[in-house]
Structure 1
Amino acid sequence: MKKKISLLLLPLLWVMGFSAKAQDIVADKIIAKVDDYIILKSDLELAYQSFLQSGDKLPGDARCGIFREMIINKVLVAKAEIDSVLVEENAIDRELDQRLRYMVETYGGDPDKIAQYLGKSLEQIAEELREPIREQMTVQKMRSEVTKDLKVTPSEVRKFFKNIPKDSIPLFPAEYEVGVLIKNPIANKAEKERVREQLLSFKRQVEAGEADFASLATLHSEDLGSASKGGDLGFHDRGELVPEYEAASFALEAGAISEPIESQFGYHLIQLLERRGNLYRTRHILMRPKPSEEDIKTTELLMDSLRQVIIENPADFQKIAVKHTDDKGSRANSAMIANPNTGSTKLLAEEMDFTAFQVVDKMKVGEVSPPLRFRTGDGKDAIRILYFKNKIEPHVANLEQDYEKIQQAALSDKRNQVLNDWFLDAIKEIYIDIAPEYDYCGILQGL
Structure 2
Amino acid sequence: MFCLVSQFVSAQIIIEDEEEAQVVKTDSVDRTSSRKIDGVAAVVGDYIILDSDIDNTILQLKAQGASMEGVTRCQLFGKLLEDKLYAHHAIQDSIVVSDAEIRSAVDYQLQQFLAQSGKTMEELIAFYNKEDEKSFRDEMFEINKSNKLASEMQKKIIEEVEVTPEEVRQFFNKIPEDERPTFGTELKVAQIVIEPKASPENVQKAIDQLNQFRADVLENGASFRSKVVLYTDDKESIKTGGLYTLYRKKPRMVKEFRDVAFAMQEGEISEPFETEFGWHIIYLEKIRGQEYDVRHILLIPEVSQEAVNEAKAKIENIRERIIAGDISFEDAARESSDEKETKSEGGYLINPATQDYNFELTRMDPELYGQIQDLEEDEVSLIVTERGRTGNIKFKIMKVSDRVDEHVADYSKDYLKIKELALNEKRFKVIEEWQDEKIMETYIKINGEHRDCEFSSNWLKK
TM-score, normalised by the number of residues in structure 1: 0.68
Bigger radius of gyration among the two = 2
- Measure, in 2, the Cα distance between the counterparts of 1:434 and 1:69: 14
Mapped pair 1:161 → 2:172: yes
Structure 2 CA distance for partners of 1:434 and 1:275, relative to 1, 3 Å: closer
State, as a whole percentage, how many aligned pairs show the same letter: 27
5+ residue gaps, structure 2, are 7-36, 121-132
- Measure, in 1, the Cα distance between the counterparts of 2:48 and 2:181: 39
1:394 maps to amino acid: E
Question: Aligned match of 1:419 in 431, 436, 444?
Answer: 431
Cα offset for 1:347?
Answer: 2.1
Mapped pair 1:45 → 2:53: no
Question: Aligned match of 1:352 in 353, 364, 367?
Answer: 364
Cα offset for 1:387?
Answer: 1.9
In the alignment, what sits opposite 2:349?
A: 337
In the alignment, what sits opposite 1:178?
A: 189
Structure 2 CA distance for partners of 1:61 and 1:212, relative to 1, 3 Å: closer
Cα offset for 1:344?
Answer: 3.1
What does the per-residue CA deviation read over 1:149-174, in whole Å, with 9 as the maximum and x for residues that have no partner?
44444554444334334553344332
1:368 maps to amino acid: V
2:227 maps to amino acid: L
Looking at both structures, which has the greater relative contact order when contacts are Cα pairs under 8 Å and sequence separation is at least 6? 1
Equivalent residues of 1:31, 1:41 under 8 A apart: no
1:41 maps to amino acid: I
- Measure, in 2, the Cα distance between the counterparts of 1:253 and 1:158: 49
Aligned pairs for 1:290-305 (under 5 A) are 290-305=302-317
Equivalent residues of 1:47, 1:66 under 8 A apart: no
Local SS of the residue matching 1:79: helix
In the alignment, what sits opposite 1:34?
A: 44
Equivalent residues of 1:183, 1:382 under 8 A apart: yes
What does the per-residue CA deviation read over 1:373-400, in whole Å, with 9 as the maximum and x for residues that have no partner?
2334455443333220122212333435
Local SS of the residue matching 1:428: helix
Aligned pairs for 1:393-404 (under 5 A) are 393-404=405-416
Query: Would you say how many aligned residue pairs link Structure 1 and Structure 2?
Result: 406
1:74 maps to amino acid: K
What does the per-residue CA deviation read over 1:81-124, in whole Å, with 9 as the maximum and x for residues that have no partner?
3223446799x69x97xxx8xx9xxxxxxxx9996445499xx9
Equivalent residues of 2:54, 2:73 under 8 A apart: no
Cα offset for 1:280?
Answer: 8.2
In the alignment, what sits opposite 2:227?
A: 216
- Measure, in 2, the Cα distance between the counterparts of 1:132 and 1:331: 43
- Measure, in 2, the Cα distance between the counterparts of 1:142 and 1:23: 23
- Measure, in 1, the Cα distance between the counterparts of 2:270 and 2:289: 19
Equivalent residues of 1:373, 1:381 under 8 A apart: yes
Local SS of the residue matching 1:161: helix
- Measure, in 1, the Cα distance between the counterparts of 2:392 and 2:143: 26
Local SS of the residue matching 1:399: coil
Aligned pairs for 1:84-103 (under 5 A) are 84-86=94-96
- Measure, in 2, the Cα distance between the counterparts of 1:280 and 1:420: 32
In the alignment, what sits opposite 1:367?
A: 379
Mapped pair 1:78 → 2:59: no
Structure 2 CA distance for partners of 1:307 and 1:159, relative to 1, 3 Å: same
What does the per-residue CA deviation read over 1:309-345, in whole Å, with 9 as the maximum and x for residues that have no partner?
4445699544543554444444586643333333233
Equivalent residues of 1:30, 1:41 under 8 A apart: no
Cα offset for 1:362?
Answer: 0.5
TM-score, normalised by the number of residues in structure 2: 0.66
Structure 2 CA distance for partners of 1:396 and 1:230, relative to 1, 3 Å: closer
In the alignment, what sits opposite 1:188?
A: 199
Equivalent residues of 1:321, 1:335 under 8 A apart: yes
5+ residue gaps, structure 1, are 1-19, 104-111
Mapped pair 1:268 → 2:280: yes
